Homo-oligomer: A and B are copies of this chain.
Amino acid sequence: MPKYSVAIVGATGYTGSELVRLLAHHPDVTIDIVTSESNKGKNITDVHPHLLDVVDIELRSVKEISDHKPDLVFLALPHGVSMDFVKEHGLDKFIIIDLSGDFRFSSRGIYEEWYKKTHVAPQFMEEAVYGLPELFRDNIRNARLVANPGCYPTSAILALAPLIKRGLINPTSIVVDSKSGVTGAGAKPKQGLHFPNVFGNFSAYSLVNHRHTPEIENTLQMYTGYSTEVLFTPHLLPIDRGILTTTYSTPKKPVIAEMVEELYHSVYEKEHFVRVFGEPPTVKNIRGSNYCDIYATYDERTNKIITVSTIDNLMKGAAGQAVQNMNIVFGLIESTGLKHIPLNP
């Protein structure tokens, strides 16, 4: 079988190098071109020395992409930059999987309100498919533009969707308390991410106004049909990879703990990348893998349902999920090239 050819646009960030890590050994895909404006002409191993002897790729300008005619393009670009690429190339030349937030909303209003930016390619927003396979697999199959989900939303939505879909909880009073490793904030050095400022530290940030809030609400609403309201609080964990999300919600009908746990087993039984745990999962149990681990229980005393879910933000929260989406679009087995076993310890 001839292999599919793919392009990675934006190779200097963490999601770019993680895509290379996953695709270098993917049996059905060849990496056709990898671009970086700031490092073009260099070998990718000059920027990411851990890839020495693994790949041997010269970084190119994104302008060369049209010469390459890849089957699919991964956009590992910052928010606000991806839409320029989509505007320029449209959706006819190649399938696009965009890892930024630019196409995660179906209309420009919410995007422009929360991202404080004018959208330059709103004509493609509606066609874009939200790339969370466990919820929207059928739509992804035929998508020309996949909006790869945000890391926090992936962990929250997979945990909350079953509860809302089954009408178990009040969807307008949900608290999502998330904690993420620092790679989620990108590869660019900043004061707040300088090693001595994070080491031994822990903090909350972007209270009440983080851009993943509307993404979580919007997607849950789209999937369940219920109007959803979420209070989302992100925290910065002093680790490199991993997200743990704790959610609190109120049942709208009588439940027991066993019923809640059983629900997750039945919903995710056939999913390769969702593991339902009988106890709260830990971040290290999914490190380097594409798994989302979920635990759910009910506290009778306070009448709350609690979920705890974990993902590797660079895998199921970014590059891993993007490759999962690619597999679906190409009609491959969904776990192809994604069977990385968690690196623990």
Q: Which of B195, B285, B308 is within 8 Å of A49, CB to CB?
A: B285
With A196-B182, A229-B302 as known contacts, state yes or no: A343 contacts B288, CB within 8 Å.
Answer: yes
Tell me if A266 counts as interface (CB < 8 A to partner B).
no
* Beyond A201-B242, A207-B297, A208-B299, 14 additional pairs, beta carbon < 8 A: A53-B272, A53-B275, A173-B302, A175-B177, A195-B195, A199-B345, A200-B239, A200-B287, A202-B237, A202-B283, A208-B306, A229-B301, A237-B238, A238-B238
Tell me if A66 counts as interface (CB < 8 A to partner B).
no
When the two chains form their complex, are residues A301 and B50 in contact, meaning their CB atoms are under 8 A apart? no
The quantity of this chain's copies bound in the complex is: 4
Q: Which of B196, B207, B282, B287 is within 8 Å of A183, CB to CB?
A: B196
Chain B minimum-CB-distance residue to A302? B231
When the two chains form their complex, are residues A341 and B297 in contact, meaning their CB atoms are under 8 A apart? no
With A175-B248, A208-B297, A281-B203 as known contacts, state yes or no: A240 contacts B195, CB within 8 Å.
Answer: yes
A244 — which chain B residues lie within 8 A by C-beta? 202-204, 235
Q: Which of B14, B50, B191, B201 is within 8 Å of A341, CB to CB?
A: B50
Task: For the complex formed, measure the closest distance between the CB of A214 and the CB atoms of chain B, giving whole angstroms.
Answer: 10
Chain B minimum-CB-distance residue to A230? B302
When the two chains form their complex, are residues A235 and B240 in contact, meaning their CB atoms are under 8 A apart? no
Task: For the complex formed, measure the closest distance between the CB of A129 and the CB atoms of chain B, giving whole angstroms.
Answer: 27
Interface string of A204-240 (1 = CB under 8 A from B): 1101100000000000000000000111010101111
A-B contact pairs, 17 of them (CB 8 A): A14-B196, A17-B344, A25-B339, A49-B281, A53-B272, A179-B202, A181-B196, A187-B196, A200-B287, A201-B284, A202-B237, A202-B239, A202-B242, A231-B302, A233-B246, A237-B237, A343-B343
Tell me if A21 counts as interface (CB < 8 A to partner B).
yes
Mark A residues whose CB is within 8 Å of B: 14, 17, 21, 24-25, 48-54, 173, 175, 177, 179, 181-183, 187-191, 193-205, 207-208, 229-231, 233, 235, 237-242, 244, 246, 248, 272, 275, 277, 280-288, 291, 297, 299, 301-302, 304, 306, 308, 314, 339, 341-345
A175 — which chain B residues lie within 8 A by C-beta? 175, 177, 248, 304
- Cα separation A17 to B345 with both chains bound (whole Å): 9
With A208-B301, A238-B239, A297-B207 as known contacts, state yes or no: A341 contacts B284, CB within 8 Å.
Answer: no
Which of A179, A191, A281, A341 has most B Cβ within 10 Å? A341
- Cα separation A179 to B287 with both chains bound (whole Å): 20
- Cα separation A239 to B196 with both chains bound (whole Å): 7
A246 — which chain B residues lie within 8 A by C-beta? 177, 204, 233, 235
When the two chains form their complex, are residues A240 and B200 in contact, meaning their CB atoms are under 8 A apart? yes
A207 — which chain B residues lie within 8 A by C-beta? 280, 297, 299, 306, 308
When the two chains form their complex, are residues B179 and A283 in contact, meaning their CB atoms are under 8 A apart? no
Chain B minimum-CB-distance residue to A52? B275
